[in-house]
Amino acid sequence: MAGRLAAVVARLGTATTDFDCCDTSFTIEVNGPGADRALERAERTARDLEAQLDAFRDGSAVSRLNKQGSVDNEHVARLLERALEIHDRTGGAFDVRRGQLEHSLKEYLRGDADTPPEPTESGYASVSIEGTTVETTAPLDLNGLAKGYIVDEVHAVADGFGRTAFVSGGGDMTPPPGVVGVESPWDTGSHLTHLETDWAVATSGGYRRERSGHDHIYDPRDAAVGGEHDLVTVLAARDCTTADALATTLSALPHTEALALADGWDGIEALLVTDGVFRRTAGFEGHVATA
């Protein structure tokens, strides 16, 4: 039986690739007819979207938007629409309109600035969307959901009739085809728990980008810099864009507020690890792999 199954898989085709994208490592796996061609299209899509949405790449659509105040780009418009939707649902706990704070914070974390930014440096943008045209009065920070959006878009290209695909980008992933581990923030290579789920997964943690006790997480409501948790993992029934945005959001909130937000959101489950204490939403255990 095993040999027969292997023969079917070989006939249908399977293809995988690993590459650097969005300042992290991406993995794409495609199974089914035309897997090789689908994989090539998917990787091209990832690199093309990175080139459009990387705020720190000269000439990207987001970079032009932040410098010039306007851009005509389908993906930026769609991304901002989702960002504003999530802003409203989180009561402002997720907000892309403090891009100047994010840029100053990244400069500090990269070592290009001597001190972390003060909240007074943050600024606040007014934005508008008309069709595919986006306008803003100040820089935007779309990084809190851009990687999840790219994962979703790449998956849409790779997946198809008679074909299945899996996409993972630095802890953000489409529903995994098997058991996956949640990486420990203290011991690289070990896992805090293992998941078996058909929901998208996103993980956020300040330990990935940290300098002198400061990380890349901030609360957009008051521009306070610094994450509240060692690690946050979010599962989303809708898509990886949602999971990515909420992992970013919950990372900046105290655990009581974070759990209340996640518990009140249909199709969301979350794990928060804070100073070694594990806290979960009511349904998270239903996605944990059994021994």
Which two tokens mark 280? 């979960």
Report the interhelical angle of 255-263 vs 240-251 (nearest 10°): 150
Distances, alpha carbon 127 to alpha carbons 71, 186, 222, in Å: 12, 39, 19
Distances, alpha carbon 19 to alpha carbons 16, 23, 29, 58, 104, in Å: 10, 10, 12, 21, 28
* Domains parsed from the chain with CATH numbers: 2-287 (3.10.520.10)
DSSP string covering 155-207, please?
A: HHHH-BTTBEEEEEETTEESSPSS-EEEE-SSSTT-EEEEE--SSEEEEE-GG
Q: Residue 117's pLDDT is what?
A: 62
Which two tokens mark 18? 């690993």
Q: Residue 161's pLDDT is what?
A: 83
Query: 177 CB contacts (<8 Å, ≥6 apart)?
Result: 29, 164, 166
Q: For tokens 């953000």, name the residue.
A: 172
Q: For tokens 């939707």, name the residue.
A: 85
Q: How many CA atoms lie within 13 A of 201 on its CB side?
A: 27
Which two tokens mark 283? 């349904």
C-alpha triplet 200, 203, 208: angle, nearest 5°:
150
Cβ proximity of 44 and 24 under 8 Å:
no
Query: 282 CB contacts (<8 Å, ≥6 apart)?
Result: 263
Which two tokens mark 97? 């309109």
User: How far apart, in Å, do the first and last CA atoms of the chain sit?
Assistant: 25
Distances, alpha carbon 53 to alpha carbons 10, 62, 133, 212, 215, in Å: 36, 5, 15, 28, 22
Task: Encode the chain (291 residues) as per-residue pLDDT tens digits.
Answer: 444 544 444 456 899 999 999 989 999 999 999 999 999 999 999 999 999 999 889 999 999 999 999 999 999 999 999 999 999 999 999 999 987 776 766 655 566 566 666 666 566 899 999 999 999 999 998 988 999 999 999 999 999 888 999 999 988 999 999 999 998 887 777 899 999 999 999 998 754 555 445 556 777 787 677 677 889 999 999 999 999 999 999 998 999 999 999 999 999 999 999 988 999 999 999 999 986
Cβ proximity of 284 and 269 under 8 Å:
yes
Q: What is the pTM of this model?
A: 0.88
By three-state DSSP, how is residue 129 classified?
Answer: strand
